[in-house]
Amino acid sequence: MADVPEHLLRRSQERRKALGLPVEGDEGEAAPTDAPEAPVAEDVAADSGAGDAGSGDGGGGEEITESVGGIPAHLLERSRKRKAALAGGGAEPASPSGAGGARTAAATAVAAPAPTSSGPGGHTQRLLTVVKSGSIQQARAEAQDKVHVWPHLLAIELASILSLTAFVTVFSALVKAPLLGLADVNQTPNPSKAPWYFLGLQELLKMFHPMVAGVTIPGVALGVLAITPYIDKNPSNKPTDRKFAIIMLTMFLMMWAVLVIIGSFFRGEGFNFVFPWNKGVFFEL
């Protein structure tokens, strides 16, 4: 029999003391160091039971004397007695030595605790079923609000450009442009106004220095519009969620619209500020 580690022997002695069983070391006997307590006790109980061949085990069963399936006969006999003791069918045969038999039975009970249906700490152990990853994957892809640039986006843009080009071509062929007469170098119109889309800039030139009106103010306005998407990064399309961007664009459009209206209807001879109901409207389409 293999040697039993010292710490296992000490643990066995501590357990026997906790259960109130006598310990061989306390009785003045040297504790064996070549075999554990529980197997020795079980072997003694098995040998004592094998010696009482005709007496039975209290449950009416006969003693097993032959090996079955390669398992030794004494192990089968010990297993049968243990099952009978746990089932309450009868007690194990007492050893002739009296106290020694009680010690042997107690040691056997300590060495082989009753099997339970739960794991450590009362937790029930279960075996999980292994499921292949392919069977739990989604069969359909989730809907996305994104489309490819080609052909979805570019096809729509191409159709829009062709439609607009056709409309401008037909409109310019049917409607005459509101052009003035031939220019006369000896007679300059007063006031000489720029086209309506440049009247806002012409109005700024009337109010400020050319450097401020032509570079500083338009540059600052366009710069604020350029950095607005980097400040307002909300991807929502709702106006209530894009207040900063809408405010910036509205201020730019309103400023330019007011300048164009002033230059169109409130600038008379010499590009002076006049009211339309006093000198008339100096604006021609």
**How far apart, in whole angstroms, are the C-alpha atoms of residue 43 and residue 1?**
12
Is the pTM here over 0.85, yes or no?
A: no
Mean pLDDT calculated for residue range 130-145: 63
| Average pLDDT value for the chain | 73
Residues in CB range of 282: below 8 A, 6 or more apart: 191, 193, 265, 267, 268, 269, 274
Please tell me the predicted confidence (pLDDT) of residue 159. Answer: 95
User: pLDDT band at residue 148, thresholds of 50, 70 and 90?
Assistant: confident
Q: Determine the pLDDT at residue 123.
A: 58
The band of 62, judged by pLDDT with boundaries at 50, 70 and 90, is low
Instruction: State the angle between helix axes of 6-18 and 37-51 in degrees (0 to 180), rounded to the nearest 10.
Output: 70
Q: What is the pLDDT at residue 163?
A: 97
In terms of Cβ atoms closer than 10 Å to its own Cβ (0-12, 13-18, 19+), residue 214 is middle
pLDDT classification of 41: cutoffs 50, 70, 90: very low
Exposure string for 240-264, b = 16+ CB within 10 A, e = fewer:
eebeebeebeeeeeeebeebbebbb
- 82-116 residue pLDDT tens: 888 888 754 444 444 444 555 555 445 444 455 55
pLDDT winner (highest mean) among 28-37, 104-113, 204-213 = 204-213
Mean pLDDT value across residues 202-231: 91
